[in-house]
Amino acid sequence: MKRDSQVFEIIEKERQRQMSGIELIASENFVSDEVMEAMGSVMTNKYAEGYPGKRYYGGCQFVDETEQLAIDRLKELFGAVWVNVQPHSGAQANMAVFLTLLKPGDKFMGLDLSHGGHLSHGSKVNSSGMLYSPIAYEVDEETGMVDYDKMEEIALIEKPKLLLAGASAYSRDWDYKRMRAIADKIGAFLMADIAHPAGLIAVGLLNDPLKYCHVVTSTTHKTLRGPRGGIIMMGEDFENPFGKTTMKGVVRKMSSLFDSGVFPGIQGGPLEHIIAAKAVAFGEALQKEYKDYMKQVKKNANIMANAFIDKGYHVISDGTDNHLMLIDLRTKFPEITGRKVENRLVLADITVNKNMVPFDNRSPFQASGLRIGTPAITTRGMKEDHMPVIVDFIDQIISDIDNDELIIKVKEQVNAMMSEFPMFAG
């Protein structure tokens, strides 16, 4: 059969781009060949509305098996008592939880988008901000850390029905225990969105939200290194909002509500090829090599943050506990926007994303910050020694931002360096 050269030539260019550049977008990663193989498999042809053993279509016996494997492996990975592996994305996992726990107009409280929060945590342009009444908490201007005292003060006044931990640009661990205490004072649900640090949590390198949160959502494609998608989980510790007397009863009741929130609440047919790939990725994450990988991600991020600090950059909160860091360019280069740096670095095959920093005076389209993460380069095999070299490339370009010749020179060095870290078997 003739290949669609129009499409496959573009895909090949993207493959080359991924191979030859330094990928520092904190939310990206490179999946294994087996994860990719499952995504491109015949499982994509199957409709399977419903859940394993309870489908609305015939012929689901094999997708039932892969979905059940994904469920069992995910439960083992996080020590969860119940999970749903069908959300198409992290934003949809969040949407399904809100649909289950909130009524339109209800108040919920999440981290402000410009302080590191996420669109689906109450932004006015997202359904979470349109259908519900979001209230924001912030980080402290001085420390760059979530201000739990202020959070409590606002929560006691506003009494949101749900309190949400989690961020897309926050480099510090979360105090879920403290947040649970705040939620309990006002009878609110506590939810965590661990889309970013999920992999670090899975292997015990960060605090465990499942011990304190009523419900936890995540993506599967960032630190977890699986296919693009979402998940919902429940841990053991669960208060009794439905008047049941046993924990088991509460979990059963809530899990069936969350299941209905996903399907038929917000989704139709599950993506069974993606779910099969999630099963593969969760299987990989249960191996010892994955824990070693996550330790290296964290080590690399820490060394990289310190290398930026040594060069005079302001890293928000003065460092990182996880896989990412947020750099406020205003301290060293007040005139240069995040947007300009992002665009110039791309020309040298270094990919980062511009990001607003807390108390930013620029718009999200310009932004004063850069968000940088180490999951993807660590998958490529990069270690401690490479981090200062990468920081040096970035610093050279920012320090002489309009120098085209310098960019060509750095790009050659970037490409030469990355050729030593091959990936993709086929």
Q: Which of residues 104-143 bind ligand DSN (CB under 6 A)?
A: 118
Annotation marks residue 170 as catalytic: no
Number of residues in the chain: 426
Site size with ligand DSN, rule: CB under 6 A: 3
Exactly one of 23, 112, 138, 193 is catalytic; name it: 193
Annotation marks residue 219 as catalytic: yes
Annotation marks residue 222 as catalytic: yes
Please report how close the Cβ of residue 89 comes to ligand DSN at its closest, in angstroms: 8
Instruction: Please identify, using beta-carbon distances, which residue of 27 and 100 lies nearer to ligand DSN.
Output: 27
Rounded to whole angstroms, the Cα distance separating 412 from 414 reads 5
Is 255:101 a contact under the CB 8 Å cutoff? Answer: no
Annotation marks residue 193 as catalytic: yes
Q: Note whether 218 binds ligand DSN by CB under 6 A.
A: no
Distance of CA 338 to the CA centre of its chain: 21
Instruction: Please identify, using beta-carbon distances, which residue of 116 and 235 lies nearer to ligand DSN.
Output: 116
Exactly one of 222, 225, 354, 380 is catalytic; name it: 222
Residue selected from 21, 23, 24, 27 as contacting ligand DSN according to rule CB under 6 A? 27
Residue whose beta carbon is closest to ligand DSN: 27
Axis-axis angle for helices 61-78, 272-285 (nearest 10)? 30
Instruction: Please identify, using beta-carbon distances, which residue of 27 and 123 lies nearer to ligand DSN.
Output: 27
Please report how close the Cβ of residue 19 comes to ligand DSN at its closest, in angstroms: 21
Instruction: Please identify, using beta-carbon distances, which residue of 118 and 340 lies nearer to ligand DSN.
Output: 118
Please report how close the Cβ of residue 15 comes to ligand DSN at its closest, in angstroms: 21
Which residues, other chains included, contact 117 with Cβ-Cβ below 8 Å and sequence gap of 6+? 110, 111, 123, 136, 166, 167, 168
Residue with tokens 């999970």, as numbered in its chain: 83
Exactly one of 100, 217, 219, 220 is catalytic; name it: 219
Please report how close the Cβ of residue 104 comes to ligand DSN at its closest, in angstroms: 23
Please report how close the Cβ of residue 376 comes to ligand DSN at its closest, in angstroms: 12
Instruction: Please identify, using beta-carbon distances, which residue of 27 and 32 lies nearer to ligand DSN.
Output: 27
Which pair of tokens denotes residue 222? 């960032």
Please report how close the Cβ of residue 93 comes to ligand DSN at its closest, in angstroms: 11
Instruction: Please identify, using beta-carbon distances, which residue of 155 and 301 lies nearer to ligand DSN.
Output: 301
Residue selected from 168, 218, 317, 379 as contacting ligand DSN according to rule CB under 6 A? 168
Instruction: Please identify, using beta-carbon distances, which residue of 345 and 410 lies nearer to ligand DSN.
Output: 345
Please report how close the Cβ of residue 360 comes to ligand DSN at its closest, in angstroms: 17
Q: Minimal CA–CA distance to 221: which of 152, 269, 285?
A: 285
So which residues are the catalytic ones? 47, 49, 193, 219, 222, 228
* Residue ranges that bind ligand DSN, judged by CB under 6 A: 27, 118, 168
